[in-house]
Amino acid sequence: MATYRSVFDAAELRAQLNDAGINTKFMASIWKYVLQNPGCELGEIPDLPSSAYRLLRTKFKPFTSTVHSVFHSTDGVTTKLLIKLQNGAFVEAVIMTYDTRLGKYGGKPRLGGPRSTLCISSQVGCKMGCKFCATGTMGFKNNLTSGEIVEQLVHASLLTNIRNVVFMWHHFDTISCHVVSENDDDDGIYVLMGMGEPLNNYTALVEAIRVMTGSPFQLSPKRITVSTVGIIHAINKLHSDLPGLNLAVSLHAPVQEIRCQIMPSARAFPLEKLMTALQTYQKNSQQKIFIEYIMLDGMNDEEQHAHQLGKLLETFQVVVNLIPFNPIGSSSQFRTSSDQKVSDFQKILRGTYNIRTTVRKQMGQDISGACGQLVVNLPDKRTHENTSLLTDIEDLRI
């Protein structure tokens, strides 16, 4: 059976059009038509050169993935999409709904209304093998193409108006946009988050984001966050390849020894070298860096760890996001930190080191859509039982 490429795979589409002597300016009109007519055949797209139709028909499909199942959490704000790829593998994407009116700007109520954030997968499984993460238990299967990454945005857009997206690496593969907006008119952050380590699929990641920020998607780079375990060589080139993005780093420990215990991949990315790379990134980008820190009882959540983290970050402009651990089954070796420990940790970072610190609101745990729970399975379908709206973390003023 012939294997087709996604029409949203920009590099392949561009190359095929160039080889056929067809102007690549038609790419945007092809994408726009498919977005507006998701059930279409490529031969229906109007006003293309005649040679383009045969090329599209023999090489490409409007979608190479399909939405297999949609699960709604009882929290009323979280939806998980189980997406089947052309090779038969599955990935998951998560939609979360927030209400901008619940935030404040300059002490005054904000305008706006409900908006949705999409967390996107970049790989099937993950190589990182973090011990607290369900996705890590899958092992690594394969990278997604740039088209398969973009298709997740298109699928989600058919369910709701997606305002924000997250490329998160595997254990945050899911749930909450953590970016604090600096501007009152900032509509949100597109972040790519889901299964996989985005920077381990660097070429497809860059290509997908360039599609998302171009016509017809036109997403602002300020609304795109890429989260990483800390792939140093990729961080070193990220700003020049994709200027204006938000970078989030899954740190999880203030010292190398603890990092290696809970994140085996950290051995390849020594903390000292990682911090040097982040220093260079911040100098070049002039943007805040978001630090992800999962709270594991007795492992990295004591007061001494808070002070070590504060000293590590005190020369940076950062926002720290403390993330309560989501148990991934009875076999998990870790326990969730108590609310008191999380609060004390936050107070030390804020009070002693003047570091902006948030605590992540957990969402979608009943559909395995919460942080660390993304592993492909087929739970029973759930329906909305609670339609309350949550404040988007982006709208919090810290």
On whether both 90 and 200 belong to a single domain, the answer is: yes
On whether both 31 and 160 belong to a single domain, the answer is: no
Number of domains in the chain: 2
On whether both 113 and 26 belong to a single domain, the answer is: no
* Per-residue model confidence as pLDDT tens digits over 357-391: 999 876 545 544 444 444 444 444 433 333 333 33
Helix (H, G, I), strand (E, B) or coil at 51: helix
**Where does 22-139 show beta strands of DSSP type E?**
60-61, 66-72, 78-84, 90-99, 104-105, 108-109, 114-120, 123-125
Active-site annotation holds for 92: yes
Report which secondary-structure segment, H or E, holds 146: helix 146-157
Please check the confidence at residue 345 and state whether its pLDDT lies above 60: yes
On whether both 46 and 80 belong to a single domain, the answer is: no
Please check the confidence at residue 393 and state whether its pLDDT lies above 60: no
Between 249 and 391, whose confidence is greater?
A: 249
Q: In whole angstroms, what is the distance from residue 191 CA to residue 198 CA?
A: 11
Sign of the torsion formed by the C-alpha atoms of 135, 358, 345 and 232: positive
| Residue at a domain's end among 25, 41, 61 | 61
Mean pLDDT score across all residues of the chain: 83
Structural domain of 309: 66-359
Helix (H, G, I), strand (E, B) or coil at 19: helix
User: In the chain, pLDDT over 70 holds for what percent of residues?
Assistant: 75
Query: What is the SS3 string spanning 242-287?
Result: CCCCEEEEECCCCCHHHHHHHCHHHHHCCHHHHHHHHHHHHHHHCC
Specify the residue for token string 């999962």.
294
38-61 as b/e: b if 16+ CB within 10 A: eeeebeebeebeeebeebbeebbb
Residue type, 291: I
Residue type, 242: L
Catalytic residue among 119, 130, 371, 394: 371
Helix (H, G, I), strand (E, B) or coil at 63: coil
353 alpha carbon, distance to own chain's centre: 28
pLDDT grade for 265, boundaries at 50, 70 and 90: confident
Catalytic residue among 12, 92, 197, 292: 92
CB under 8 A, 24+ apart: contacts of 105-112: 105/184, 105/395, 105/397, 106/184, 110/184, 110/395
What's the pLDDT score for residue 377?
Answer: 47
User: What length is written for the chain?
Assistant: 398
Residue among 364, 351, 371 at smallest CA distance from 390: 364
Please check the confidence at residue 178 and state whether its pLDDT lies above 50: no
On whether both 188 and 285 belong to a single domain, the answer is: yes
Residue 209 inside a domain? The answer is yes
Query: Could you check whether the bond before residue 216 is cis, i.e. omega within 30 degrees of 0?
Result: yes
Between 21 and 117, whose confidence is greater?
A: 21
Please check the confidence at residue 107 and state whether its pLDDT lies above 90: no
What's the pLDDT score for residue 328?
Answer: 59
Please check the confidence at residue 331 and state whether its pLDDT lies above 50: yes
On whether both 160 and 283 belong to a single domain, the answer is: yes
On whether both 248 and 325 belong to a single domain, the answer is: yes
Do residues 128 and 208 touch, judged by C-beta distance below 8 A? no
Give me the numbers of helices (H) and strands (E) for the chain, helices first please. Answer: 11, 17
Please check the confidence at residue 106 and state whether its pLDDT lies above 60: yes
On whether both 57 and 71 belong to a single domain, the answer is: no
What is the CATH number for 237? 3.20.20.70
Q: What is the 8-class DSSP label of residue 80?
A: E
Residue 311 inside a domain? The answer is yes
- Helix axes 202-213 and 146-157, enclosed angle (nearest 10): 40
Report which secondary-structure segment, H or E, holds 225: strand 224-228
Do residues 38 and 158 touch, judged by C-beta distance below 8 A? yes
Residue 376 inside a domain? The answer is no
**CB 242: neighbour CB atoms within 10 A?**
17
On whether both 155 and 292 belong to a single domain, the answer is: yes
How many CA atoms are closer than 13 Å to the CA of 258, on its beta-carbon side? 19
Active-site annotation holds for 133: no
Do residues 17 and 24 touch, judged by C-beta distance below 8 A? yes
On whether both 212 and 318 belong to a single domain, the answer is: yes
On whether both 183 and 241 belong to a single domain, the answer is: yes
On whether both 131 and 23 belong to a single domain, the answer is: no
Between 294 and 131, whose confidence is greater?
A: 294
What's the pLDDT score for residue 333?
Answer: 82
Residue 244 inside a domain? The answer is yes
Q: What is the 8-class DSSP label of residue 290?
A: E
